[in-house]
Structure 1
Amino acid sequence: MADIRTACRIVLLITREMARVAGDRVTLKERRRSVSHFRQIAMYVCHVTLQLSLSEIGAAFGRDRTTVAYSCRVIEDRRDDRAFDEFVASVERLAYSVVVAAGVRENA
């Protein structure tokens, strides 16, 4: 479980930093919602890219698996926006590379 929790934390940190670098190019809604939005993106990336189960992700983020499922649906729906889709794809590529390179999730 520690490896999964570590992988999820890494993905969340990558998401936050990439959003900061992207700045205004990617609209992440209003500031007070950005914390939860970063978490939703990280949950989505953990599920889709790292192929973690909803239950594993929920445990790592201290949330229920149904919350993770909701987050994945929200992000999937937003991927129709080209700029947002490119942002998430970048997070996916970087997160996969970092997590696998760090040996946190070797079978991802």
Structure 2
Amino acid sequence: MTSAWVNKSTFLDHISANSPMGRIGKPEELIGTLILLASEASSFINGQTISVDGGVSSSTGLPFFTEEMFNYMERAVPKRNGKTHKTQLICLSTKPHGPLKA
């Protein structure tokens, strides 16, 4: 599903601009988390969500997608029975979310 739009520069530029790290994560940056979860060190970790997203989820909650970006990604999602899968476009927002407040 994602291969149609993940490699597009429009999408990558948008995600990079909205990430606190200012870039897309690299696959090798998941290794530490994967090793932890596969090791005995995680034997008491249960029912948790570990976000490896460069701070996106802790800074804004959701990435901000303009209507143009939403439409771009919707066109890239494969259609089934002639309909797009808007439910596959998880974590999309048409309005910005501000930083978390204490």
Regarding TM over 0.5, the answer is no
| Larger relative contact order (CA 8 Å, sep ≥ 6) | 1
Task: Return the structure number with greater helix share.
Answer: 1
TM-score by length of 2: 0.31
TM-score by length of 1: 0.30
Q: Kindly name which structure, 1 or 2, has the bigger radius of gyration based on alpha carbons.
A: 2
